[in-house]
Amino acid sequence: MSTSEPRLFVTGATGQLGRLVIEALLKRVPADTIVAGVRSLESAAAEDLRARGVTLRVADYARPETLAEAFRGIDRLLLISSSEIGQRVAQHQNVIEAARQSAVSLIAYTSLLHADTSPLALADEHRRTEDALKASGSSFAVLRNGWYTENYAASIAPALAHGVLLGSAGEGRIASAARADFAEAASVVLTTDGHDGRVYELAGDDAYTLDEFAAAVSVLSGQTVVYRNLTEAEFKAALVAAGLPEDFAALLADSDMAAAQGGLNDTNRQLSGLIGRPTTPYRTTIAGTISGMAAQG
């Protein structure tokens, strides 16, 4: 490894976003400068990363004793927010403290779009993590990620099966982008200078309502899908009836209601500015999802 190349660490590297960040980094820097944080060195996902020439280290948010050793010799670290809602602040604090003790020069954190003012219930743990970063004395950058288009694309299969896309977002506009766009932005922040203290509001270039999303599904699939707007309670109940855990259903319904209030919209185009290209159009993600479904039979 060249001594001029900073050592980069990605937490949660086998998760959906983490894997894409690694892919983006591999296009920008040598593999031997990348360290992937994983819970298990033996998982298939970890093996895939090892095969790419990426170094693996165990880094479990809930096990602070794994973190200090994992961050040894690391220059820049991406803290991908934990998926364990309700446990995230303590877990993130473990990472921040270990990074501080290991003299990591920059911590980049994946927060939530407009976390300081967001009506989403999800925002609270992100706000508290941002406060912990500020209080740590470490250099940091905040990547306030908007909604992934894949969050809504996951509903395309049942929407096609029933001819209806359900939600509670009303006429709220959603400036989402593909998960890979956000991953690329993280890779830019890790591999370039000038991000210390920056807070990026990251969202797609174009916004849509769920009515427009359903219309695009109709056009691209050749099947009629309409959007049916429900109350928050009705949408939560529908999600639970479809088999989702109650807490997760409540979170999705709350997020839709927040979208109705503008909580998932942004027009500043900071994401496309960071990655140096337009964000992936939502119709492209819809088309790819439908093609993938067809390929699977």
| Model pLDDT for residues 74-111, shown as the tens digit of each residue | 999 999 999 888 889 999 999 999 999 999 999 999 99
Write down the pLDDT at residue 56: 97
pTM above 0.85, yes or no: yes
Per the CB < 8 A criterion, the answer to whether 128 and 89 are in contact is: yes
Write down the pLDDT at residue 297: 67
Q: Is the pLDDT of residue 2 over 60?
A: no
The dihedral formed by the CA atoms of 156, 46, 1 and 20, expressed in degrees to the nearest 10: 10
Measured CA to CA, the distance from residue 75 to residue 238 in angstroms comes to 46
| Mean pLDDT estimate for the chain | 95
45-69 pLDDT, tens per residue? 999 999 999 999 999 999 999 999 9
- Secondary element (H or E) of residue 165: strand 164-167
Give residue 76's Cα distance to chain centre: 19
**Conformational region of residue 203, where left means phi above 0, alpha means psi within -120 to 50, and beta covers everything else:** beta
Question: Token match 């993130």: residue?
Answer: 92
Write down the pLDDT at residue 5: 75
159-205 pLDDT, tens per residue? 999 999 999 999 999 999 999 999 999 999 999 999 999 999 999 99
* Percent with pLDDT over 70 in the chain: 98
- pLDDT band for position 4 (cuts 50, 70, 90): low
Determine the average pLDDT of the residues in 28-35: 96
241-253 pLDDT, tens per residue? 999 999 999 999 9
* Percent with pLDDT over 90 in the chain: 92
Residues 6 or more apart in contact with residue 267 via CB below 8 angstroms:
175, 207
259-281 pLDDT, tens per residue? 999 999 999 999 999 999 999 99
Residues 6 or more apart in contact with residue 287 via CB below 8 angstroms:
220
